[in-house]
Structure 1
Amino acid sequence: MMEKAMAWDIWTRNPFAWPLLTMEIWRRALEEAAFPAPAPGVGPEWCTPNRLLLELNGLRLWDFSVSDAGAPVLIVAPYALHDAQLADLAPDHSIVQALLQNGCERLYLAEWKSATSETRLVGIDAQLAALNVAVDDIGGPVDLIGPCQGGWFSLVYAARFPHKIRRIVVAGAPIDLQAACSALSEPVEKTTNHVIDRLIESGGGIVKGEQMAPLWPREDCEERRLVDSLQLRPPFSSPPEQAAVVAFQRWDKRVVDLPGPYYREVFCRLFRENLLARGAFPALGKAANICALDKPLFLLVGEHDTIAPPGQALAGADLVAGAVETAIAPCGHLALFMGRSTIANEWPRIASWLVEA
């Protein structure tokens, strides 16, 4: 039976709707935000024990390790609308726990901080430099895991510093934006630089998460969103299910602010100019060419992902020079990182791929 179409699927399939939709979503973004602002200082609410290993202006490095055995694994959280708890939401909904339970005993996570007046001028190069410090402090070579927007960023870093990387896992990330339609890439093409400038200026150099939240594609029903993301069945009556729902709802409302230059560079270089797939992504004075990247790569893709659809995500297999393994999970975008079935079925395989190398 065909699944009920998501709200954004209609305009994703209708190219004549893109210009009108683009004007509408940016109009909404520049108006008063629909989501409440997060409380100052509130960040990820981890469900797995850890310690803070390093804190920079824009990055925190968390150590989830349970031993010193094996190669170090570093999860590079996405720097987008929501914070890094995406990787450690709740028991049975945690990439971190799945990796630890399946042999990845040296495990770290890079969390990007919400932008402030001190970091509002930060661009991609500064983020790459911060990640480079984290990798050096861990001691490489490391295995990188990049969920969502952390995926393309991990590929850029690996292409720029290949000697510091052993293996790479990319989950639900856009790689070749011209390979398939998505809920994000095509409206981006219709958005002018002037609109981007206005959005940044309206936040005093910062792209406010509360302004971006209404733009993010969402199911039109909260229950459907919970079902799709957590892979649970209503009425969510057991204590573990209730705890996961509460954790998800808190994470969903806790938005992140982005530095204006970083946002503009991602918008232009990744989504508009497709420089990652072209092997010409600027990275600390050089072009990061993923076409020359010969490190083993694992691509995890959601069959029903409209944010990073299979065509965009799997394109990486034909671009890189190294050996590639792929897995297509029967789910949408968020379920790749927090869905109970995906965590139980796909992430142990990824952990084995890392450990057995």
Structure 2
Amino acid sequence: MPWDNWTRQMWDWPLASLEMWRRALAPDETPQPAPAPWTTPARLALDLSALRLWDFSTGDAGAAVVIVAPFALHDAHIADLAPGHSIVAALRDHGCARLFVVEWKSATQATRNLGVDDLLALLNVAVDDVGAPVDLIGLCQGGWLSLVHAARFPGKTRRLVVVGAPVDVRAAPSALTEPVARTSDAALMSLVGAGGGCVRGAQMTHLWPREADEGARLAEALQIAPPFDEATRQVVAAFRAWDRRVVDLPGRYYCEVFRHLYRENALAAGGFPALGRVVDLRRLDRPLLLLVGESDAIAPPPQALAAGALVCGPVETLSAPCGHLGLFLGRRTIAQQWPRVAAWLNKEAG
């Protein structure tokens, strides 16, 4: 499998883990880049302690679609990077008139103790503000969070799209599960302590797997090839700016994801804790669409597609010939797969 080749060939795991942690725990003196404007016109609809809700709507018709961006390493512009590389634009152009994006704010000393429950509660407020039931689209780490929210509040989701999200982390090895297995609690606490209770994005970049060849990374993520015209050079510049805009994570949230999702595999096992209850995906009966990347090393197809076997509602799948970032940023994937996502959402909208 392409994703399996990547995880086996890119890393000598024991040595790589030691070096990654050494760099991650080094003092960070990198200034935080300024926020960027959206590519697609948007209005700030809601501003909470750790969440902003952006309204990209063009009208009032149809079901509301809420894109849940990942709270991992980079900001929510992964959903709206540049012309031709925007999930938001693709959905708007194909009939999703009521469209919103959840942006997670970079952690501060005031929000360093927020956990998964806090994020679920904030997401729930955003959904209520839009007007439930909504169609949720979860990207990467926003995917499993959307699954948990839909299972915890079953009446608030109409349809659910999960894109490149780890669900059953024991279904296949990945570029994240291998380092997690070799990370001690002491190393985890050191990472959080070094950030004053936050996990600093600039430090986390050393833990996040990436290709050594920057040209190959650009080609894979954006699905472009030289020679570049001026428009493509602007896309590359937007990608590089986004890549530098790393976000800090609340230490508690980071540790809970580390423990419940990756170590315990609690989402697949039916034991994920969520706001005073235990979430079991086997009770989730909402229509579910899974979009996976065939060579995704972060959320390999077996991990992501496992959601389809866990839920009790109707499931459809889409597969794109790309890696992880290509699912969200790739020109070809945006043009070919995301109109299909919009069509699936619009089947019974209204």
2:167 corresponds in structure 1 to: 175
1:38 pairs with 2:32? yes
Give the structure-2-normalised TM-score: 0.96
CA distance in 1, matches of 2:189, 2:85: 37
SS at match of 2:205: helix
Counterpart contact for 2:21–2:206, Cα < 8 Å: no
1:222 corresponds in structure 2 to: 214
CA distance in 2, matches of 1:184, 1:75: 23
2:299 corresponds in structure 1 to: 308
CA distance in 1, matches of 2:18, 2:209: 15
Give how far 1:190 is off: 1.2
Give how far 1:68 is off: 0.3
2:73 corresponds in structure 1 to: 81
CA distance in 1, matches of 2:149, 2:132: 13
Give how far 1:343 is off: 0.2
SS at match of 1:262: helix
Give the structure-1-normalised TM-score: 0.94
CA distance in 1, matches of 2:46, 2:25: 35
| Amino acid across the alignment from 1:81 | L
| Amino acid across the alignment from 2:69 | A
1:210 pairs with 2:202? yes
Aligned with 1:26 (options 15, 18, 21): 21
Count of matched residue positions in the alignment of Structure 1 and Structure 2: 346
Identity of matched residues, % = 58
Give how far 1:260 is off: 0.5
CA distance in 2, matches of 1:234, 1:11: 25
Q: Gaps spanning 5+ residues in structure 1: where?
A: none
Aligned with 2:143 (options 127, 142, 151): 151
CA RMSD after TM alignment: 1.5
| Amino acid across the alignment from 1:346 | Q
1:164 pairs with 2:159? no
* 137-146 vs 19-28, which moves further: 19-28
CA distance in 2, matches of 1:95, 1:182: 25
Q: How does 1:53-202 map to 2 (within 5 A)?
A: 53-202=45-194
CA distance in 1, matches of 2:332, 2:289: 19
| Amino acid across the alignment from 1:350 | V
Give how far 1:24 is off: 2.0
Give how far 1:36 is off: 3.6
Counterpart contact for 1:75–1:110, Cα < 8 Å: yes
2:280 corresponds in structure 1 to: 289
SS at match of 1:215: coil
Counterpart contact for 1:171–1:301, Cα < 8 Å: yes
CA distance in 2, matches of 1:287, 1:91: 41
| Amino acid across the alignment from 2:13 | W
Aligned with 1:334 (options 292, 300, 325): 325
Counterpart contact for 1:52–1:60, Cα < 8 Å: yes
Give how far 1:286 is off: 0.3
Aligned with 1:351 (options 326, 342, 345): 342
Aligned with 1:256 (options 244, 247, 255): 247
| Amino acid across the alignment from 1:351 | A
CA distance in 1, matches of 2:308, 2:36: 32
1:10 corresponds in structure 2 to: 9
Counterpart contact for 1:44–1:83, Cα < 8 Å: no
| Amino acid across the alignment from 1:29 | A
SS at match of 2:173: coil
CA distance in 1, matches of 2:235, 2:174: 28
CA distance in 1, matches of 2:239, 2:13: 30
Q: Gaps spanning 5+ residues in structure 2: where?
A: none
| Amino acid across the alignment from 2:170 | Q
Counterpart contact for 1:37–1:255, Cα < 8 Å: no
Q: Can you list the C-alpha shifts for 1:269-289, whole angstroms capped at 9, x where unaligned? A: 001100011111100000111
SS at match of 2:270: coil
